[in-house]
Amino acid sequence: MFKPAGFAWLFVNEARILWRGSILVRTHKYVLGPVVVVGLMFQGIALILAAQIVRHPLPLGQMVLVANLNLFFFFVLMLSRAMTSAIDVLYGRGDVDFLLASPIPPGRVLAVRMLGVAGSVAVPWVLLGGVLANAMAIHGQPWALAIYPMLLAEGLVVAALAFALVVGLVGWTGPKLARRAGHMLALFMGVFIFALGQAPRFIPQAALGHFWQALLPVGSAPGVQHVFAKGLLGQPAALASSLAFSGVVFLLALVTLDARFASGAITAAAYRPGGTEARQGGEFRASPFAAVLMKNLRLLARFPGVVTQTVYRSLTLVPVVMILAGKLRIGSGTNVVAPLLVFLTGQLALFFISVMVVSDESPELAASAPVSSAFLKRGALVAAGYVTLVLMALPVIGVLARDAVLLPGLLLGMAGVLVCNLTLGLRLPIPLVRADFGKAQNGTMLGLILGVAVSSVWSLAVWLLVTPHPLAWVVPS
């Protein structure tokens, strides 16, 4: 279809590789149905939301503030993902040297990689934001469609920055720490968004009002510093300027990195003499089960992003701690803690067992050993269950100290969700990392959807169990 070795041909090849390594591939035929249903639900909600927005328009200043905040969130979340993607396409996939050895101009290879990353980080947000933009357009606000070019342009800036950052970080610290920096960014953003949502509970209304006031643009015509926000709000000149700026930043990064990429200096930076030091080994064990358990725990501890992803999931603990400490009251009181903890147990169990499955690079080694396959599965289940329970021990002790009557229901729910999600994750691990080049994706979206559903069902069951009149706070008698 395209001229071989040309830009479009290379881009199609890159898109194909990115797609085949993506999380949707393995179970797309099962996932398509739920995705369409969820998409339609989102579109329905967006239509209602858009009607409200149109009916109660915000002043321009507040619109600019909302646009700025959205652009900021998108930027940081995209950057985090772009950094890990940049590491994958420059150092992880292993085909850069092959392409550099081909007669294709290196600059074209780099440009395609950067564009691929830009697209892959922007598209999910474009799809999400597009739902609201479509609804706004249906309600007679076509300016909202500016989100499409604006987010794609933001993807270009993000990709440019991510490649520059990654090249610098890898040269300085190596790919592992650079990858960790990307994960930390995501964690920072997650905590920030969560804290922002919780802010009205801690910060006095007046202080919070001052904070937002300070962020509002001064005067009736927002200045040049708000050009991107105005672009997102569909102002033609601002939109054109934003797109031009993004293109220039992208080209600048490309031109800056091109010579180093062509010389192989960028990819060579990942090769370091010797490997990363691991903790001193040498604790030989006679029991195969102990050996399997220790191996699983080590692989879990060394899984990229395990800390950030665990913390991310454990943000549920913040309201739990506040409720137990008496600083926050939601619905029916401390009872709410039980379903929250059950949900968290389910999500952590699903995450840890998925890490075990995805990390097991050499299952055939154990298959050739004199141990049964059930034994190995048990090893993975026990390791994942053990880590989950260790993390959940402290909150459970908190419940015991604060409201011991919740404990039977809580423990029952935790045991149930643990068993269900560990079993589920063993068969359908959630997608955690992009598949290695040439390898199939282990994780499945179906596992993720079912896991969240299982956690929710158990949470609901426990809530009904521990709350005498579960709906009393919603429907006053």
374 forms part of the interface with other proteins (CB under 8 A): no
Task: Pick between residue 2 and residue 375 the one whose CB is nearest to other proteins.
Answer: 375
Min dist. Cβ of residue 173 to other proteins (A): 14
CA distance 15 to 5: 14
Task: Pick between residue 74 and residue 352 the one whose CB is nearest to other proteins.
Answer: 352
CA distance 354 to 168: 32
359 forms part of the interface with other proteins (CB under 8 A): yes
- SS3 state of residue 430: coil
Min dist. Cβ of residue 83 to other proteins (A): 19
Query: What is the DSSP track for 332-371?
Result: TGGGGHHHHHHHHHHHHHHHHHHHHHHH-S-HHHHHTSSS
372 forms part of the interface with other proteins (CB under 8 A): yes
> How many CB atoms are closer than 10 A to CB 427?
13
Min dist. Cβ of residue 286 to other proteins (A): 5
CA distance 428 to 72: 34
Q: Which of 25, 99, 138, 294 binds other proteins (CB under 8 A)?
A: 294
The pair of three-digit structure tokens given for residue 266, joined into one six-digit string:
């960028």
Establish how many alpha carbons lie within 13 A of residue 81's alpha carbon, considering only the half-sphere containing its beta carbon: 21
331 forms part of the interface with other proteins (CB under 8 A): no
Whole-Å CA distances, 380 to 101, 126, 261, 429: 42, 38, 41, 12
Min dist. Cβ of residue 277 to other proteins (A): 6
298 forms part of the interface with other proteins (CB under 8 A): yes
**8 A C-beta contact, residue 159 and residue 121:** yes
Task: Pick between residue 307 and residue 321 the one whose CB is nearest to other proteins.
Answer: 307
Min dist. Cβ of residue 93 to other proteins (A): 15
DSSP label of 470: T
Q: Which of 122, 169, 299, 449 binds other proteins (CB under 8 A)?
A: 299
361 forms part of the interface with other proteins (CB under 8 A): yes
Stretch that binds other proteins, among 129-137, 225-233, 286-294, 338-346 (CB under 8 A): 286-294
CA distance 419 to 401: 26
364 forms part of the interface with other proteins (CB under 8 A): yes
Q: Which of 4, 275, 468, 476 binds other proteins (CB under 8 A)?
A: 275
Q: Which of 288, 313, 452, 460 binds other proteins (CB under 8 A)?
A: 288
Calculate ∠ Cα 78-83-87, nearest 5°: 145
439 forms part of the interface with other proteins (CB under 8 A): no
Q: Which of 103, 219, 274, 468 binds other proteins (CB under 8 A)?
A: 274
440 forms part of the interface with other proteins (CB under 8 A): no
Find the distance separating the first CA and the last CA of the chain, reported in whole Å.
68
Binding site for other proteins (CB under 8 A): 272, 274-288, 290-292, 294-295, 298-299, 302-303, 359, 361-362, 364-372
